[in-house]
Amino acid sequence: MSHVALRSLLRFASLSSLPEPARSSVRVAGRLRLNPQEAEDERALDAFRQRLAAMDREVPVVDYGAGTGAGEKPPVRRLSEVYRRAATGPAWGRFLYGLARAMRPTRVLELGTNLGVGAATLAMALARTEAEGGPAGRVVTLEGAPAYAEVARQSLAEMGLSERARVVVGAFVDSLPDVLDGEGPFDLVFIDGHHEEAAARTYVHAIRPALSSGALVILDDVEPGRPVRRAWRSLAEEADGSAWLGKYGLLVYR
C-alpha cells in the first residue's frame, strides 16, 4: 500500500472507541509525517530493506504444524522472497514507527520477527525518543525460524540496535511464557505471526496479564475474511477499546 493510500485510510478510520491517550497516538501516527531526524531513520530502514531484497541465499522454511512428509526434504526459500512475502511494508512501517514515537513505550513485544524489519522500525523509534531525553525503551521480538532470527540479529547489530532489540528464537508457545514472566509489563505489542483465529486469541489472553495499564495490542492480518479478524472481533468485545485499521486491528487494555 502506498503512503498516500494508507494516509487516507487512516484519516477515515473510526477511532471513537479507543480511549485516550491511545486515540491521539494513533491519530498522530496516522498522519505519516516525519521530522528531519525521523526521515534520517527512515532512510536507514530503507537501506536495510534494500539489503534484504538483494539477499539470494536460501534458508529452510520452518513449519509450525503441518509437517513435511516422511523422507521429503524440508522446503527452502530465498531470503529476498521471505522479505518480499512477509516483511512489514514501508507505509505500514512508517505508521508503526510513528505509533512508537507518539506512545513513547518502555517495553515493546513483537510476535514474528521475520527478518527484523518491524523490530528495527520499532527499535529506531525508541532510540530516537531516548536521544531526545525520553524513556529508554526496549523491544523483545520472537521468531520460530532460526535462519530468519539470525538475519534479524545480525542486521540489528549492523544498525547499532542490538542493545535496543532482543531476538528470541523458538515457537511462540515455547518462548512466550518466559518472556512474559521476565520482561513485562509491555506498553505496545505487535502480533504479526501465526495468523490463525484460535492462536491469536490464545496469545492475546496469555499476554493480557503482562500488559501495562493503557497498553496497545496490534493484531496484524485482520482484513475481511481473514481468520485473525474473527479473533480481533471477539477480543474487541473484552477489551477496553478497539479500532479497525484495515490490515491492523487494535486493542487497548486498561
From residue 143, give the alpha-carbon distance in Å to each of 98, 169, 249.
Answer: 23, 5, 21
C-beta separation of 17 from 249 below 8 A: no
What one-letter code names the amino acid at 191?
Answer: I
The smaller minimum CB distance to ligand SAM, of residues 49 and 104, is found at 49
The smaller minimum CB distance to ligand SAM, of residues 17 and 55, is found at 55
3-state DSSP: the chain helix, strand, coil percent, rounded to 5? 50, 20, 30
The smaller minimum CB distance to ligand SAM, of residues 119 and 213, is found at 119
Binding site for ligand SAM (CB under 6 A): 62, 64, 86-88, 110, 112, 114, 117-118, 143-145, 148, 171-172, 192-194
Shortest Å, Cβ 16 to ligand SAM: 28
- The reply to whether omega before 21 is within 30° of 0 (cis) is yes
Shortest Å, Cβ 121 to ligand SAM: 7
Vertex 246 angle, CA 102 and 144, to 5°: 80
The smaller minimum CB distance to ligand SAM, of residues 194 and 226, is found at 194
Shortest Å, Cβ 110 to ligand SAM: 6
* Terminal Cα distance for the chain, rounded: 32
Shortest Å, Cβ 105 to ligand SAM: 16
From residue 45, give the alpha-carbon distance in Å to each of 52, 156, 249.
Answer: 11, 11, 24
The smaller minimum CB distance to ligand SAM, of residues 18 and 149, is found at 149
Helix (H, G, I), strand (E, B) or coil at 120: helix
Look up cell 525508541; give the residue. Answer: 126
Shortest Å, Cβ 254 to ligand SAM: 26
The smaller minimum CB distance to ligand SAM, of residues 43 and 84, is found at 84
Kindly state the DSSP code that residue 33 receives in the 8-state scheme: -
